[in-house]
């Protein structure tokens, strides 16, 4: 063959490969062994968060007088979207807001409630939405309430009185005050956090770990004397700036409160300010690293704890999300604060967070995406309508379906190394080696149902993967649900939903112990099948 013919053959081969689409990465394996369990998946992993910040409450979930609102002032379109998320627990009322919030301002006749300067996010707080309005919203969406008390400018007595108002049936002053306000039955709120991000210098009433622990211990004492059945959450680390020492904060708080609290709360926000897709895709693994570190601290202090028969301390990731576009001084304050718009790559990172929670189901027992509407949220509303952001869809799939026992899954696939990068504004740096292109979690239920959740982090290539059951065979067919879009920057908007969940053709199993599936580039896929021993 002459040189000219050889050149033509090479060009023809290249054109053929290009026309066939992205080359499939081969020989990946996911092994499922239902005897290798991690822990029970707690339904509280699928929680959310409502803070008096920007338009989360007013103009988000609550807009009296709007033609789109019901008789309680709740936006009906937003309410229906919230119901679609099967939200298991909602944290309220903050956030930074709570460190200067006094709950008594938000009860009683709305016309008599005082308007206050809201110092955390620089807005006026009317207090027209408060304890009883929030509890009505929880009832409307069928969720568990989770209250945070003011450990900044508030007192331990104020925290006790709030428990009395919400949880004591009758007799003492604040229980009778609730009845006077028109709510004869107590709410029996089970979950209470002892403040918010008290390690952060930005927090009103910021303290060191020793002083926080002293105040939290005494608040807990009064709150439990009022209602012994409540569960308490300590404020864990939130300040991961380069000069901070978050794990020392966690160590001190766990040591001092090991006999008192039921959870330690951790917070994490990530972003992609440098527009580096692969760095961004790796950020859930940093959350997982922090989970392992805190689990080690918990294990260490539990050896000296006197829990009086209560469960060990668990981790609550009660604030997590992607937040980096709206973090300037202008976009972090006022009535339009933190109105982040999300794309497909953000949805994949959220799926990665949820996979990390499932993989650590033995220690992570609560998680709350921040927040519910408009403010770094899966739901975005304006005066005339709303739409579901890209991050809505992976959260919905997990919340509606992924239950049971988390499995210790074996994953063998290609990997990549990240550069050294900032996780987000105000965060520390990270650098990760051997990040797997396939990010996987799996759960198993007693009826034989198995759920395999897979993020393909590869931007350009589908990954052909062998799914292997090591205890029993797959039976019937897998249902296949996929969250994807035309490209990683695709965004949803009013009347436009290029990123959403699509149910794909089923994957036949037919009693085999091994089947093959090709996970598309930049996708999140949930496979629902059965394993028969």
Give the Cα separation of 445 and 142 in Å (integer).
24
Catalytic annotation, pick one of 51, 118, 133, 197: 197
Tokens of 120: 């955390």
CB-based contact 518:466 (threshold 8 Å):
no
Give the Cα separation of 46 and 35 in Å (integer).
25
Give the Cα separation of 258 and 266 in Å (integer).
16
Q: Where are the alpha helices (DSSP H) in 340-498?
A: 344-359, 392-401
Cα atoms found within 13 Å of the Cα of residue 371, Cβ hemisphere only = 26
Catalytic residue flag (residue 255) = no
Tokens of 486: 């035309």
Closest residue by Cα to residue 428 from 333, 293, 307: 293
Tokens of 352: 């990665």
Tokens of 351: 């799926």
Q: How far apart are the first and last CA of the chain?
A: 58
Catalytic annotation, pick one of 118, 125, 256, 319: 319
Catalytic residue flag (residue 319) = yes
Give the Cα separation of 488 and 277 in Å (integer).
9
Residue 334: other Cβ atoms inside 10 A: 13
The strand order across the sheet containing 410-412 reads 410-412, 25-32, 463-469, 514-519
Give catalytic residues, as residue numbers: 197, 319
């Amino acid at each position: 063959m002459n040189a000219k013919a050889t050149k033509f053959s090479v060009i023809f081969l290249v054109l053929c490969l290009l026309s066939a689409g992205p080359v499939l990465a081969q020989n990946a394996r996911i092994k499922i062994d239902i005897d290798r369990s991690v822990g029970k998946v707690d339904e509280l992993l699928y929680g959310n968060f409502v803070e008096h910040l920007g338009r989360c409450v007013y103009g988000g979930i609550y807009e009296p007088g709007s033609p789109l609102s019901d008789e309680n002032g709740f936006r009906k379109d937003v309410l229906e979207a919230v119901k679609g998320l099967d939200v298991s627990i909602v944290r309220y009322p903050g956030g930074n807001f709570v460190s200067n919030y006094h709950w008594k301002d938000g009860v009683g006749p709305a016309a008599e409630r005082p308007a206050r300067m809201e110092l955390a996010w620089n807005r006026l707080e009317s207090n027209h939405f408060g304890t009883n309005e929030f509890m009505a919203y929880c009832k409307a969406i069928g969720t568990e309430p989770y209250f945070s008390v003011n450990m900044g400018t508030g007192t331990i007595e104020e925290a006790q009185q709030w428990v009395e108002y919400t949880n004591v049936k009758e007799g003492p002053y604040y229980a009778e005050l609730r009845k006077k306000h028109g709510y004869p039955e107590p709410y029996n709120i089970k979950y209470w956090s002892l403040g918010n991000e008290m390690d952060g210098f930005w927090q009103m009433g910021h303290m060191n770990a020793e002083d926080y622990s002293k105040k939290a211990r005494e608040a807990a004492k009064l709150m439990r004397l009022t209602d012994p059945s409540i569960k308490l959450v300590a404020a864990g680390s939130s300040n991961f700036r380069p000069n901070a020492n978050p794990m020392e904060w966690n160590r001190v708080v766990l040591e001092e409160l090991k006999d008192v609290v039921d959870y330690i709360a951790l917070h994490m926000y990530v972003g992609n300010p440098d527009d580096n897709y692969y760095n961004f895709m790796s950020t859930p693994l940093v959350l997982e690293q922090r989970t392992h570190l805190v689990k080690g601290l918990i294990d260490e202090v539990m050896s000296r704890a006197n829990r009086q028969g209560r469960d060990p301390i668990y981790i609550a990731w009660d604030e997590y999300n992607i937040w980096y576009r709206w973090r300037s001084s202008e976009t972090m304050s006022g009535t339009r604060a933190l109105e982040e718009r999300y794309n497909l790559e953000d949805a994949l990172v959220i799926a990665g967070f949820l996979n990390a929670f499932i993989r650590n189901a033995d220690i992570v027992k609560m998680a709350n995406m921040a927040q519910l509407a408009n403010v770094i949220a899966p739901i975005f509303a304006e005066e005339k309508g709303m739409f579901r952001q890209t991050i809505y869809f992976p959260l919905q799939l997990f919340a509606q379906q992924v239950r049971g026992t988390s499995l210790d899954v074996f994953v063998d696939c290609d990997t990549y190394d990240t550069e050294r990068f900032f996780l987000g504004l105000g965060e520390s740096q990270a650098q990760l080696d051997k990040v797997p292109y396939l990010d996987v979690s799996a759960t198993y239920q007693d009826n034989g149902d198995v759920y395999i959740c897979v993020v393909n982090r590869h931007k350009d290539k589908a990954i052909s993967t062998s799914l292997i059951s090591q205890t029993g065979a797959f039976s019937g067919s897998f249902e296949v649900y996929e969250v994807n879009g035309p490209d990683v920057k695709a965004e949803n908007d009013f009347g436009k939903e290029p990123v959403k969940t699509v149910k794909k053709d089923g994957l036949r199993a037919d009693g085999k112990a091994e089947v093959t599936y090709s996970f598309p580039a930049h996708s999140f896929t949930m496979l629902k099948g059965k394993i028969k021993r």
